[in-house]
């Protein structure tokens, strides 16, 4: 085997001069392979996994559905579901309130606007729901109006916190007034 040292030396010099370009090409090739593998893996994972529903917007799976219920009972269960969603948003808004003196409270404003966009008007309790439920609903609507006024006037965080706590209490009492006696017993047993 006869090696031509001149050719070998020329090839070595060529590789030495172009090594930065060659290294860059190798890194680029490795990045392409890695990117394709990542995309393929993500596609496989997303097709195998079902999308998770937003549990804050949907009624809880353990809550009884309006199957074979009269229209007033279905409306009542829908109102209860909306009130629970309202209470969840209120808890989130209260948790994201900033300490006194800080002005940047956009998460609170956003959550309060979501609270105000919940449509409770068409879900008024029926006459047979009881006087307590109707009074609680009226009080809740007044408190939501006060919250709307506080947001328009850029009220301090203390005032917003106070009205959110009042709305939460009223919503909890309204849920208790709307629940049938059997549901109230079940809630007491689970606590």
| Burial class of residue 9, CB neighbours in 10 A (0-12, 13-18, 19+) | exposed
pLDDT over 70 at 156, yes or no: yes
Q: What are the respective helix, strand and coil percentages of the chain, to the nearest 5?
A: 75, 0, 25
Evaluate if residue 182 carries a pLDDT over 50: no
Structure confidence at residue 91 as a pLDDT band (50, 70, 90): confident
Closest Cα to residue 130, out of 169, 184, 59, 167?
Answer: 184
pTM of this prediction exceeds 0.85 = no
CB 150 within 8 A of CB 131: no
CA–CA distance, 60 with 44 (Å, rounded to integer): 30
Measured over the CA atoms of residue 114, residue 75, residue 191 and residue 141, the dihedral's sign is positive
Give residue 66's pLDDT: 47
Local structure of 3: helix, strand or coil: coil
Residue 39: which pLDDT band, with cuts at 50, 70 and 90? very high
Task: Report how far apart the first and last C-alpha atoms of the chain are (Å, whole number).
Answer: 89
């Amino acid at each position: 085997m006869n090696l031509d040292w001149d050719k070998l030396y020329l090839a070595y010099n060529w590789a030495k001069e172009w090594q930065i370009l060659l290294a860059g090409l190798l890194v680029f090739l490795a990045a392409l392979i890695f990117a394709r593998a990542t995309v393929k893996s993500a596609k496989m994972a997303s097709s195998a996994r079902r999308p998770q529903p937003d549990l804050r917007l949907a009624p809880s799976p353990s809550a009884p559905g309006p199957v074979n219920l009269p229209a007033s009972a279905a409306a009542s269960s829908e109102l209860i579901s909306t009130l629970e969603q309202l209470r969840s948003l209120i808890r989130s808004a209260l948790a994201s309130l900033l300490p006194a003196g800080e002005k940047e409270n956009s998460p609170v404003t956003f959550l309060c606007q979501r609270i105000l966009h919940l449509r409770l008007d068409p879900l008024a309790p029926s006459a047979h729901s009881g006087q307590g439920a109707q009074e609680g609903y009226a009080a809740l609507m007044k408190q939501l109006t006060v919250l709307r006024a506080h947001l328009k006037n850029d009220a301090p965080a203390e005032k917003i916190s106070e009205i959110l706590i009042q709305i939460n209490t009223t919503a909890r009492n309204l849920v208790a007034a709307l629940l049938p006696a059997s549901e109230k017993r079940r809630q007491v047993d689970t606590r």
